[in-house]
Structure 1
Amino acid sequence: MAVQIFGTSKSFETKKAERYFSERRIAFQKIDLKEKGLSKGELESVISSIAKRAGDRQAAIDSLADKKNKDYASFAYLDDSEKEEKLLDNPLLLVQPIVRNGKTDATIGYQPDIWKNWN
């Protein structure tokens, strides 16, 4: 299992995700969104994975943006075609943590019920 956790060191939810994997002795790579955001390919794989569960690509993109973030208003009123680029430009706008397992599975937020089914 190749787990990546995208988040910030100040995010309580990110710390919970790190603790979840540490307690189960599952190795993970932590990527700090303040230092390095998601690449276009990483964001694409996260959107694809979320869209499988949500059933809609645009709903998946909208769910990636943190509604509590001070910059959310600038995201919410963008045209759908511009939202993906906004998330790439401002990675702190993303819901934290984003947890990836390989290139096919990804979650946003704290989702232990989904993680326990990952092999």
Structure 2
Amino acid sequence: MIQIFGTAKCKATRAAQRFFADRGIKVQLVELREKGLSKGELASVARAVGGVRALYDAESARVKERGLQHLGPSDARIAELLVDDPLLLRTPIVRDGTRACVGAAEATWKAFADAAKGG
């Protein structure tokens, strides 16, 4: 099943939900305000998207709120921060098994949708 990790307030997360709904594909929405990614999930998604830095939203209000914008944290520290505070993640994260993408990635969403319909 396709999972979308994001928040209800995030425009791109809503766009991802709408994308799959328009194609009649059921998804599981994981609201990051309620539940984050486990260390294992984070590692798996990071592998799929080219590393943990791709998941860290360095420009977000949350990063500024926490005073993290001036840090050049290591990948290990970023992974810790993302597990502890899922609102530091770039959204949406769309995951289909071991495959994943982050942000508004309609071409990848389409590939996931096509696989979901064919599978």
Do both share a fold (TM > 0.5)?
Answer: yes
User: Does 61-70 or 91-100 show the bigger shift?
Assistant: 61-70
1:39: which partner in 2? Answer: 38
1:116: which partner in 2? Answer: 110
Structure 1 alignment gaps of length 5 or more:
52-59
1:27: which partner in 2? Answer: 26
1:52-67 mapped onto 2 (5 Å cutoff): 60-67=51-58
1:97: which partner in 2? Answer: 92
**Equivalent pairs, count:** 109
Structure 2 alignment gaps of length 5 or more:
none
TM-score if structure 1 supplies the norm length? 0.84
CA deviation string 1:13-53 (max 9, x = no partner): 000000000000011000000000111111111011112xx
TM-score if structure 2 supplies the norm length? 0.84
| Percent of paired sites with the same residue | 41
Following superposition, the deviation at residue 74 of structure 1 comes to 1.6
Q: CA RMSD in A?
A: 1.5
